[in-house]
Structure 1
Amino acid sequence: MSAPLPWHDEAELLGVQVRVHFFDPAEVDARSDAVARLLPVLVADGRPALAPLPLVAPGQRPTCRAGGLVAQPDALWRHGDGLLCLTHHAADRSGDGGNDARRLDPVHWRSQLRMDLLLQAVATAMAVAGQHQLPTLALWRGSNVLAQFDPGSAVLECMASLVGAARLYWNAPGGVTPAQLASFCEPRLRALPGLAEHAPMPLRA
């Protein structure tokens, strides 16, 4: 029986169960192995304790489609009976390239984690799952943290049902992106009973 992964904390945010693993960027970013560098929660004694199979070459971003949703995960692995979908270049609505949004404090991360980045990662995993017809785990890597996002059924149903409306809103006949779907869905998710109290409010300029 394998040991549980060393997640440092967890919480429910906007109907999504979030687990976080914090790491030293200087040490982790210097690793040569892609899995050890991108998924540090899998590393034990300096080596990956688990070895997911990469589905694309390092640096490549495959295009995945599910209905009107089109996404390009930053990395994709086969693991067991499902897929691991990693996002770390998610668009940041603040316009600063996401640098501040990608570093979280181990104590205050719940209020710092941006819901648009969380929802983009979930939307990307939705597109991957639809393309490959396999259960897909949504992961997001920040500057000093790896997060796992497990959306509840209400979140998945809401986001899936709004893909068509988001395409119309963004005038995207070729398909809506995860960033566009996240932006469109966030206020609607906050309006669902029982979800708003589990999410930090968006930052005001």
Structure 2
Amino acid sequence: MHKHFIIYKPYGFLSQFKSNDSKQQKKRFLGELHNFPEDIMSIGRLDEKSEGLLLLTTDGKISDYINSQKVDKEYYAQVDGDITDKAIEIMKSGVEIGFNGKKYITKPCEVFRLKNIPELPTRSKKIRDKRHGPTSWVSLTLNEGKFRQVRKMTSAVGFPTLRLVRVRIGNIHLNKMGVGDVIKVTKFF
């Protein structure tokens, strides 16, 4: 029987359980958060500086399905500056980013400015304070997931990402989970 987990991946952790790479021996891994089954895998990835909802499973078929373009992923991004309507419209319709050394136009997606600062746990590493200028928050919902895509999209329109939190995968929401929380579930969908 397959096992499934929902976790709030903290900032500073890799979306893997161990590494044989000598350069990564001082990195933090998901295995520090919980005693997971040996054959567990993360469904998709969040880079080391990103945080939020991450699904884990022992079922390769469900992993393939969730990683496919059939399942939306929603992110909240705190960006440097007061994001403009024009920048949001560009991201909605598709923006040119670099991927594997080539130019790539992202697929159209849902993007909007958040009216209020989202209620999220405090990040372990402070971002910055108001002395450095304004920031704003946007929601981006994608059904593709190129390497560091959200960060590249916001940078391409002139508003680099300062904090990135995945808040939803399909109908699974982060809700009020705390950083590092792990929930065992019987199924995802």
TM-score norm. by structure 1 comes to: 0.28
TM-score norm. by structure 2 comes to: 0.30
Give the structure, 1 or 2, with the largest relative contact order (CA under 8 Å, sep 6 or more): 2
Which structure dedicates a bigger proportion of its chain to strand? Answer: 2
Which structure dedicates a bigger proportion of its chain to helix? Answer: 1
